[in-house]
A and B are shown apart, each in its own frame.
Chain A
């Protein structure tokens, strides 16, 4: 028997895409509060506004984040969601799970929460959706003692780092994204669990410039795999793409007849730097001109592979619009090796934090702080030599902030001596 009528939501039970409404109703058979979620969302569908109150600070002892407090503004109608907090659980790198691990979490959540999840939240955490304050310490106890799991980040702290699936199942991973993500998450547990930053700080690890975790768009510190030497070419495989034996782009376009693969039109002419050519049946790449955009590798994965001298490019300061507008990350360090304990990368992260914790304003993302002080100043802070690679193009205004020590004779001059030569 439905506890609430949900005529609007019921209309989302039809159609081929998996229905969250059907799913919630199924969970509601054993978890009564799921009926109250449905009831409250139905009310929002009727009123066209949310019925969750603003915020609420709850957490577990000793942590400043990881739990998002949430309270209904119609608790009398929907007592099951009067208190409905979210627990962010730090996901394993690139979100592989054993069924045992998942089933343990599901069983715990059946006892201590609503039974509903987000797999996963936008930053990457496994999100346990809906519990009450009195359950939080028990949940945390069971996660840490029985499941070897810990909470993720929220608020003004290091947010849960995330990575692409990289070398686990991809031919393009230019460094070990899982290892880097796991290592940095463990190194900075304090920064993750005890907010001390002006605002959130996200780190994301992508294995190649395809950037499957959107690091360049979404992370304050983006680590994107790249290489410094020549693209590896298997000429025999190139010939097989040309002859049609191999399907281009891994078969991504198989649903439409695009005609026979034309290496000139589809690869050589689409190269952004025009650094490729066919000579005597051989594919030639002028690697010095290549900007590693991935197009040719994506189009011919069996013929082309990243070079062997692999590492990562570091880009800093991406963010969504809040507060002062969206930013795509700025390229700061063209290449670092990503080996061992990732010390070189960590030194860069810590330089960012040392400066930003000192100079960043309340709720100012590091990308905004960099805009405020200017890129040349930030490069100085980071100890990075200014390079033409740091800009798309040189400045078009002449307003250079020369420093006293950069100008012959300095700024201090004698105005009296000036007057002796130049009458007013």
Chain B
């Protein structure tokens, strides 16, 4: 019984959607659904939720690499079977959560997690939780950097902030390996973004065979791509395109539409750091992340420049911000010119917007601070 290639439509099931969520609820969750009263963080990585019925649910939050093996998932399942009635959940930020229904079950669960060795508990409250990230060199065809390796290197360094709650507010770090930004990188406290810096090459021999030239031309948001007849080494004249390099902003859209226009490059590609974004509507409105470091080199396997930049910003913020202040709120309060000074980040014209709606970010007031930038 199974799929029969000779008879592909026989007994075919389609469009059933996901399994119903309720069957996967631990009993305490099912019983108190919609009846939760309040929560407390008992200690870093351990949450306590109390329901109107008086029932309690304790959650241990565990770091997970997002890219994980079935073998490791079996370990998760074993712990869930031993301690949590055979249920577990994953969070939006790629953590794993194990839930138990009374205080006495917490320590044995934590002991089992500690014994495993690859299941650190943390990521709650005013700390750094898991980095939301993308595929990078592990599985993506358009990346300007890796994802898993950069995340591992950064989180090794920020680990004390994962297992503690000492910051003024939560700090959300996100990584995207190209401008597609699969992940809320454009609205994160600290964002690590893969960027290209060289325009696409054009494979004139192949372009006619692998893509629709009008689509490649239309793909460019800045109209930098034009049709052009090109003479190959064989003397054959073919329809191709040309790129106005002065207009190119290295977004990679043309490559997305046309594999004959590759732009990835070991020297050209690297990482930009953006800061001060947020999603929550708490106190201030959601904000975009702002580009403060335009480029750091790809330096595998541990990306020391990127790690140092992220850690540097985080630690200045930790020392200087007020309680409840998110990174972006802090930067706005002290002024971005002061942010650069305090974080010891050189300012360059690359941080002055010259794309659409750029004028929104230009200063139109006599109010500014005399920082060391003004000679």
Contact = CB atoms under 8 A, between A and B. Distances in A.
Given A20-B152, A210-B280, A252-B124, A54 B137 contact: no
A337 interface: no
B146 A44 contact: yes
Interface of B: 2-3, 5, 8-9, 11-26, 29, 33-34, 36-44, 49, 57, 59, 63-74, 76-77, 80-81, 86-92, 94, 96, 99, 118-120, 124-127, 132, 134-143, 146, 148-149, 151-153, 155-156, 159, 162, 164-167, 170, 176, 179-187, 215, 218-219, 221, 251, 253, 255-256, 259, 262, 264-266, 269, 277, 279-284, 286, 288, 298, 300-302, 323-324, 355-357
B141 A167 contact: no
A53 B141 contact: yes
Contact of B19 (A41, A137, A149, A258): A149
A99 B187 contact: no
Interface residues of A, number: 137
A182 B20 contact: yes
A328 B137 contact: no
Nearest to B72: A23
A26 B69 contact: yes
Contacts of B42: 251
A27 B280 contact: no
B282 A325 contact: no
Given A48-B269, A217-B184, A145 B13 contact: yes
Interface in A328-351: 328
Which are the 10 A-B pairs with shortest beta-carbon distances? A252-B125, A15-B156, A54-B259, A320-B181, A48-B266, A27-B69, A255-B165, A141-B3, A44-B137, A189-B15
Contacts of A94: 21, 89
A119 B139 contact: no
Given A115-B69, A272-B283, A41 B138 contact: yes
Contacts of A23: 65, 67-69, 71-72, 118
B221 A324 contact: yes
A169 B49 contact: yes
Interface stretch (A171-179, A380-388, A399-407, A409-417): A171-179
Contacts of A214: 92, 184, 187, 279
B259 A266 contact: no
Nearest to A210: B280
Given A98-B86, A103-B74, A255-B165, A90 B18 contact: yes
A18 B21 contact: no
A24 B72 CA distance: 10
Interface in A72-115: 84, 86, 90-103, 106, 109-110, 115
A255 B143 CA distance: 37
Contact of B29 (A93, A116, A169): A169
Interface string A183-199: 00110011001000000
Contacts of A293: 281-283
Interface in A290-327: 292-295, 298-299, 301-302, 320-326
Contacts of A323: 221, 251, 253
Most buried by B among A24, A99, A147, A249: A99
A119 B90 contact: yes
A47 B21 CA distance: 44
